[in-house]
């Protein structure tokens, strides 16, 4: 059985609208990749260009929330400052599988699972988390209107999964 009818049937059974699982809107997955690439490349102007003018960002970086004009640039600058203050270097985000995407015309939600590879005072570490993003189409471009980071298990928390 072709994949799309299976997805549509699953969507119907789960109560999701068929549009939620339709083909990737042009440029959306590329925009998600750009988000990861710009953080890895430490390019604040490229990173800021991915966000809507009224964007909102929440992360574990002080002061934890940025909103409005220049939110993405302020977040990016604060991220760089925070990394230096805690002794983290060589930060790299690595996608962990495909993002979960729900899209309707002009709007989308994406959950991107990521590994964060970094060195803390020279020692290699890997954490895992999710960036939840809401996006809206601005012409042919997808702009991030909100981004929220959360760890799937915060650093230092005991693993109680077994």
157 against 51, higher pLDDT: 51
CB 57 within 8 A of CB 147: yes
- C-alpha to C-alpha distance for 43 and 110, rounded to whole angstroms: 22
Q: What per-residue confidence (pLDDT) applies to 53?
A: 92
Going by their DSSP bridges, the two strands 141-151 and 100-104 should be labelled as unpaired
Most confident listed range (44-53, 118-127, 151-160): 118-127
- Predicted confidence (pLDDT) per residue in 88-110, tens digit: 999 999 999 899 999 999 999 99
How do the domains of the chain map onto residue ranges? 25-151
Residue 142 has pLDDT above 90, yes or no: yes
Q: What per-residue confidence (pLDDT) applies to 22?
A: 46
pTM of the model: 0.77
DSSP 87: T
Q: What per-residue confidence (pLDDT) applies to 12?
A: 36
Going by their DSSP bridges, the two strands 141-151 and 107-120 should be labelled as unpaired
Q: Does domain 25-151 have CATH number 3.10.450.50?
A: yes
* Coil/strand/helix, residue 89: strand
Q: What per-residue confidence (pLDDT) applies to 86?
A: 92
């Amino acid at each position: 059985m072709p994949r799309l009818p299976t997805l549509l049937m699953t969507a119907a059974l789960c109560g999701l609208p068929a549009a939620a699982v339709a083909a990737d809107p042009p440029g959306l997955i590329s925009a998600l990749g750009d988000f990861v690439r710009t953080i890895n490349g430490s390019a604040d102007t490229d990173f800021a260009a991915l966000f809507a003018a009224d964007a909102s960002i929440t992360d574990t970086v002080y002061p934890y929330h940025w909103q409005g004009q220049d939110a993405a640039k302020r977040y990016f600058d604060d991220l760089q400052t925070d990394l230096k203050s805690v002794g983290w270097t060589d930060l790299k985000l690595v996608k962990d599988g495909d993002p979960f995407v729900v899209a309707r015309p002009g709007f989308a939600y994406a959950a991107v699972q990521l590994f964060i590879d970094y060195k803390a005072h020279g020692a290699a570490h890997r954490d895992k988390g999710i960036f939840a993003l809401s996006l809206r189409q601005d012409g042919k471009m997808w702009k991030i209107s909100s981004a929220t980071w959360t760890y799937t298990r915060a650093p230092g928390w005991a693993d109680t999964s077994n």
